[in-house]
Chains A and B, each alone.
Chain A
Amino acid sequence: MKLDDPLTRYVVRLGDDALIMGHRLSEWMSRAPFLEEDIALSNVALDFVGRARLFYQYAAELMGGEVTEDSFAYQRDVRDFTNLLLCELPRGDFAFTLCRQFLYDAFSLPFTQALCQSADPQLAAIAAKAEKESQYHLRRSRDWMLRLGDGTAESHERCQNALEQLWIYTDEIFECDELVDDLVAAGVAVDTRSLRSVWLETVTETLHAATLVVPEAQGAVTGGRDGIHTDDLGFLLAEMQFMQRAYPGLKW
């Protein structure tokens, strides 16, 4: 699927972040450490998939013709996906999933708040819905950081290891390319560079309270916005898209 219109490309990016994050969370269904947590992870997954649907529906509307929300989810190859690499990393252990979630939620809240001011009314409307949920998400993932970081020696170590592995993927969140810059100038997109300091403040405050250490910068891995992904995304899509690939147009 070839996307030319800048607004459509931006909307699809936001949809891709939400869908891939939601799918990774959904992999925990029936595997979480205890029942309440299983339900909570599934609920957050549902919020993200719901968010993806709104972005994809809007992108489909912008494109017109035969394109639907499902076209974006099921009929694109790995190089067409433009999500952040952070979202696609395998779920790892429970600490890894929650650390990833915390790092993302700490960004997602100020991001959705800023997107509420978008000059594009539909993006602003989606953001106004997502922002309220993001507050719940961040509160919960922050609680888990405190519980795991300031928990047992093992939970602390697993958390710290996860943060060290995740840290090089956080730079990409605040990268802006020409597409974003043009849309920022038009008042449509959010300049994520401006959110870095508030994100780092939240992360630093929480990690300190959780007796964890903010990792040292070791460089940055990027490429997701250009469709350059880790091997893991291909496997994720193979599973997620299987039914539509095997039985195109299948409905249930």
Chain B
Amino acid sequence: MNRAKADCIPLLPVEELARRRRRHESSVGDIWTLLDDVMDPEIPVISLYELGVLQDISRDGDTVKLVLTPTYIGCPALGIMEEDARAALTAGGYAQVTVETRLAPAWTTAWLTPEARRKMAEYGVASPEAGGTTCPQCGSANTEVISEFGSTACKSLFRCVACYEPFDVFKAL
């Protein structure tokens, strides 16, 4: 089933719906808000929450517990994301932090919101679309793949045939 078709009303995957519900019904809404300032180190215009990496937050006494999920297995950025989240919490007055890495449900690009996709495109990284990849510079749909494995584990390298600019594409996963 293809949930991400551009020409139909976007449906939220159930895992993503559950994640949003965890945030909305959370008793630690201020911590979620605090962490909205922690950006993906490789695409620093979308937050860990928007990326889908930040899965849950809970609090037990003085200890804040974060649940993160990796995008790619070998993604070296997960360690940096964890450090950045810890630093933001420490600065916000939460010194005791534990981080759990949860693998299931497995992260997917289907969780990226239209808003996150728009921010990524403005930053120069195209996001995977069912209807084909469009150039983030000029909007042309006339693009070709240079390499399926780009500058980081999560990106492919494309080239725009219309404006000749090479650009990164977030791999569909």
A interface residues (Cβ-Cβ under 8 A, vs B): 36-37, 39-40, 43-44, 46-51, 53-54, 121-122, 124-126, 128-130, 132-133, 136, 139-140
Contacts and interface: CB of A to CB of B under 8 A. Distances in A.
Interface string B113-151: 000000000000000000000000000000000111111
B149 A125 contact: no
B106 A132 contact: yes
A109 B64 CA distance: 38
Interface in B73-87: 73-76
- Which are the 8 A-B pairs with shortest beta-carbon distances? A50-B74, A40-B149, A46-B74, A50-B73, A125-B103, A36-B147, A125-B104, A43-B149
Given A129-B103, A129-B106, A139 B148 contact: yes
B52 interface: no
A54 B104 CA distance: 13
A39 B151 contact: yes
Given A128-B104, A136-B171, A140-B149, A36 B74 contact: no
A29 to B, nearest CB: 13
A130 B173 CA distance: 11
A127 B83 CA distance: 26
A105 to B, nearest CB: 13
Contacts of B105: 128
Given A47-B153, A121-B104, A140 B70 contact: no
Chain B contact residues: over half helix, strand or loop, or mixed?
loop
A132 B103 CA distance: 13
Interface in B90-118: 103-108
B125 to A, nearest CB: 16
Interface of B: 70, 72-76, 103-108, 146-153, 157, 171, 173
Chain A contact residues: over half helix, strand or loop, or mixed?
helix
Nearest to B70: A129
A130 B171 CA distance: 14
Contacts of A43: 74, 149-150, 152-153
Given A39-B151, A43-B153, A128 B106 contact: yes
Contacts of B73: 47, 50-51, 53-54, 129-130, 133
Contacts of A136: 148-149, 171
A39 B103 contact: no
A81 to B, nearest CB: 20
Contact of B72 (A36, A124, A133): A133
Given A36-B147, A122-B103, 16 more contacts: A36-B149, A37-B147, A40-B147, A40-B148, A44-B149, A46-B74, A47-B73, A47-B74, A48-B74, A49-B74, A50-B74, A125-B103, A128-B106, A136-B148, A136-B171, A140-B148
A43 B171 CA distance: 13
A56 to B, nearest CB: 13
Contact of B76 (A46, A48, A140): A46
Given A125-B104, A132-B173, A136-B171, A50 B147 contact: no
B72 A47 contact: yes
A142 to B, nearest CB: 11
